[in-house]
């Protein structure tokens, strides 16, 4: 079992920044990759960014490339998502997920095994 707890969401003005955290506990040694997804009201959940648990490689959705940065703190078993230059279109519930099986950074939500509870990010114009 792996437990994931997100934090760091909130309300921010357009152009602002937030940093989301995802703390992992439990059998973290089984994690292969971590991903961040988001779901806006009335829309499908979409991949945002992913990282190997080893931290050696990352992947971003085109919509966030150059604005968001995913990173990992080994000592804290925590994955971060730095959100910069936010726009109202970034408003969504952001969730982190752990993948214990796929040998690459998956962009499909169904390939992830464990999920956090989600954290709301709201960007005002």
- Per-residue pLDDT at 42: 96
- Per-residue pLDDT at 54: 84
Q: 115 pairs with which residues across the strands?
A: 97
List helix spans (H) across the chain. Answer: none
Closest to 9 (Cα-Cα) out of 28, 35, 36: 36
Residue 121 makes CB contacts below 8 A (sequence gap 6+) with 9, 10, 12, 18, 20, 38, 83, 86, 90, 91, 92, 93, 94
- Per-residue pLDDT at 56: 81
- Per-residue pLDDT at 82: 98
Name the 3-class secondary structure at 90: helix
Chunk the chain into consecutive blocks of 10 residues (it has 125) and report each block's average pLDDT, rounded to whole numbers.
Answer: 96 98 94 96 97 91 98 94 98 97 94 97 97
């Amino acid at each position: 079992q792996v437990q994931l707890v997100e934090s760091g969401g909130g309300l921010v003005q357009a152009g602002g920044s937030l940093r989301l955290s995802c703390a992992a506990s439990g059998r973290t040694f089984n994690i292969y990759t971590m991903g961040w997804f988001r779901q806006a009201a009335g829309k499908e959940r979409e991949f945002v960014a992913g990282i190997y648990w080893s931290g050696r490689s990352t992947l971003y959705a085109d919509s966030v490339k150059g604005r968001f940065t995913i990173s990992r703190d080994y000592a804290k078993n925590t994955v971060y998502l730095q959100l910069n230059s936010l726009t109202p279109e970034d408003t969504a519930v952001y969730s982190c997920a752990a993948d214990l099986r796929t040998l690459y950074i998956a962009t499909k939500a169904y390939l992830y095994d464990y999920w956090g509870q989600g954290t709301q990010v709201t960007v005002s114009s």
